[in-house]
């Protein structure tokens, strides 16, 4: 049964068949029942490699803010004009919903929280979301922005997402979201990040344990969850950011996750004491597992974990180097 399969994942996940969405799930995507098989992801070297910039840097450019807002405006318009288009805002939210909350849609083997699929799955999701946004504004150079809530200089809730008239705004947020920066003291923040990034020096600790273990990595269960809880409404049902099924309805979700993704990228580059530390899981069951997404042309695409382990060549992005002030200072 599906349940046993989860407890002993011996083979890589093949990727769900989107037509088999569990009855009664609130997450099912609209999928044409035309028998189309997913095409395999291939890296697209024609996409220019560009840096994803921090909110602090990127949002100083009014040109970038305009473009980002326009991309989300178009994504919302598409939802309105063609609710079944997988590139519309609501369908994009459902892609996240499909893969979360205890297997609401395709069974628990496709739950990408609280296990080792958390980081690679969200990297895939961001990649396709970014390609769709780029297509919306007709700029292949377009990149997501990251909200570097881990550092003293970047932790403030990005102002461009806070203007009620902007497509980047979401009214389902904690009314006090501008107080985020005051949530923890600087010393507590640095201590937390040190524990969840620097001290989490094995992939079991940082990325989490295999499917079925219910042991997410420290970056997920620590800062990642804390930001969701702080941005979402503080009362049930905690929409949007505070509720995994709804979180991706808020554009700030993607700026938040770009930072989680960046911290994985940073983690792998931290100096290591031994070669066995700070590496990704070597397991075939992890590396060869697949998930499916719609790309910027609404083509169903199957992508594996190993496709996303190298961001620059394969996914065509790097990250701006920003201060990681939680790093222990070198003696
Ligand atoms: Cu899929 Cu921040 O959660």
| Tens digit of each residue's pLDDT (9 = 90 or more) over 88-137 | 999 999 999 999 878 889 888 899 999 999 999 999 999 999 999 999 99
The neighbouring-strand residues paired with 304 are 290
Listed residue (260, 110, 233) closest to 176, CA to CA: 233
Instruction: Using the mean position of ligand 1's atoms as its centre, give its distance from the Cα of residue 305 in Å.
Output: 17
Confirm or reject: Cβ of 247 under 6 Å from ligand 1. yes
Residues 6 or more apart whose Cβ sits within 8 Å of residue 184: 192
Tell me the pLDDT tens digit for each residue of 25-37: 999 988 877 778 8
Confirm or reject: Cβ of 137 under 6 Å from ligand 1. no
Tell me the pLDDT tens digit for each residue of 57-68: 999 999 999 999
Ligand 1 atom closest to residue 256's alpha carbon, by position in its atom list: 2
Confirm or reject: Cβ of 227 under 6 Å from ligand 1. no
Q: Are 86 and 298 in contact (CB under 8 A)?
A: yes
Instruction: Using the mean position of ligand 1's atoms as its centre, give its distance from the Cα of residue 105 in Å.
Output: 16
Place of tokens 């893969």: 99
Compute, in degrees rounded to 10, the torsion defined by CA atoms 301, 22, 239, 252. Answer: -10
Give the DSSP letter of residue 20.
G
pLDDT of residue 274: 61
The neighbouring-strand residues paired with 53 are 145
Q: What domains, with CATH codes, occur in the chain?
A: 2-6+14-319 (1.10.1280.10)
Task: Report the nearest-CA residue for atom 3 of ligand 1.
Answer: 244
Instruction: Using the mean position of ligand 1's atoms as its centre, give its distance from the Cα of residue 63 in Å.
Output: 28
Instruction: Using the mean position of ligand 1's atoms as its centre, give its distance from the Cα of residue 331 in Å.
Output: 36
Q: What is the pTM of this model?
A: 0.95
């Amino acid at each position: 049964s599906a349940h046993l399969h989860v407890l002993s994942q011996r083979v890589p996940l093949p990727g769900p068949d989107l037509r088999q969405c569990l009855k009664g799930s609130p997450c099912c995507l609209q999928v044409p029942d035309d028998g189309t098989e997913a095409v395999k992801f291939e890296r697209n070297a024609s996409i220019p490699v560009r840096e994803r910039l921090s909110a602090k840097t990127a949002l100083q450019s009014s040109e970038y803010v305009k473009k980002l807002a326009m991309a989300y405006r178009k994504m919302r318009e598409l939802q309105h004009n063609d609710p079944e288009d997988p590139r519309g805002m609501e369908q994009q939210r459902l892609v996240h919903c499909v893969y979360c909350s205890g297997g609401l849609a395709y069974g628990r083997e496709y739950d990408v929280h609280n296990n080792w699929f958390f980081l690679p799955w969200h990297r895939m999701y961001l990649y396709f979301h970014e390609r769709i946004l780029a297509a919306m504004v007709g700029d292949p150079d377009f990149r997501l922005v990251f909200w570097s809530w881990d550092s003293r200089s970047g932790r403030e809730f990005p102002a461009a997402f806070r203007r009620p008239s902007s497509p980047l705004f979401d009214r389902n947020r904690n009314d006090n979201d501008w107080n985020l920066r005051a949530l923890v003291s600087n010393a507590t923040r640095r201590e937390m990040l040190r524990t969840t990034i620097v001290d989490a020096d094995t992939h079991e600790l940082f990325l989490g344990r295999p499917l079925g273990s219910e042991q997410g990595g420290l970056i997920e269960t620590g800062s990642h969850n804390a930001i969701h809880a702080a941005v979402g409404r503080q009362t049930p049902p905690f929409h949007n950011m505070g509720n995994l099924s709804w979180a991706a309805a808020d554009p700030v979700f993607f700026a938040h996750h770009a930072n989680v993704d960046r911290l994985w990228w940073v983690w792998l580059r931290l100096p290591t004491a031994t070669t066995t530390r700070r590496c990704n899981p070597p397991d075939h069951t992890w590396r060869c597992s697949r998930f499916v997404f719609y790309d910027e042309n609404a083509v169903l695409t199957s992508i594996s974990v190993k496709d996303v382990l190298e961001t620059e060549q394969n996914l065509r992005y790097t990250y701006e180097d920003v201060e990681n002030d939680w790093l222990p200072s070198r003696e």
